[in-house]
Amino acid sequence: MKYFAYALLAVVSLGTCHAQQYGQHDTTGSEGVILSDLQVKDYSQQALQGDSAAASKLGQFFLMARGDRSHAEYWYLIAAENGSAGAQRSYATMILQDDKNNKSRAIFWLKRASGNGDALATAELERLQR
């Protein structure tokens, strides 16, 4: 449950800037989570060209709006590879949720996120290495 809370926090925080780009505003607390087919296409192109924010947005969309964990992990990995500290942490969290025995891979991504200034990743890394 704790890992899900971290992932949820990362997902919600990543959505705000892209919601503003497309003029999406709501008062439900899920601002920017829902994407149209056109937005998915646009973000996909941007993400595959190196835009980590677009890839993170897609990860958020597939996880929160569609409940499609497989696609969410794919896009969070793309965002993590493109340097997004939040996505690196989110991807590490998803790895731990999927396979507790894959701790070394999660630690790899948490170290990257921590090195990129993500305080939550630093805290989680310290907890895992105890």
Residue 11's CATH number: 1.25.40
More confident residue, 100 or 82: 82
Report the distance separating Cα 45 and Cα 101, nearest Å.
34
Could you give the number of structural domains in the chain? 1
pLDDT, tens digit, 9 for 90 and up, residues 50-75: 999 999 999 999 999 999 999 999 99
pTM: 0.75
What token pair was written down for 75?
């896009």
User: How many CA atoms within 13 Å lie on the side-chain side of 72?
Assistant: 22
Token reading at 119: 């305080």
How crowded is residue 78: how many other Cβ atoms within 10 Å of its Cβ? 23
Integer Cα distance of 46 and 28 in angstroms: 27
d(CA 100, CA 117): 25
Domain extent, residue 8, equals 2-128
127, pLDDT greater than 70:
yes
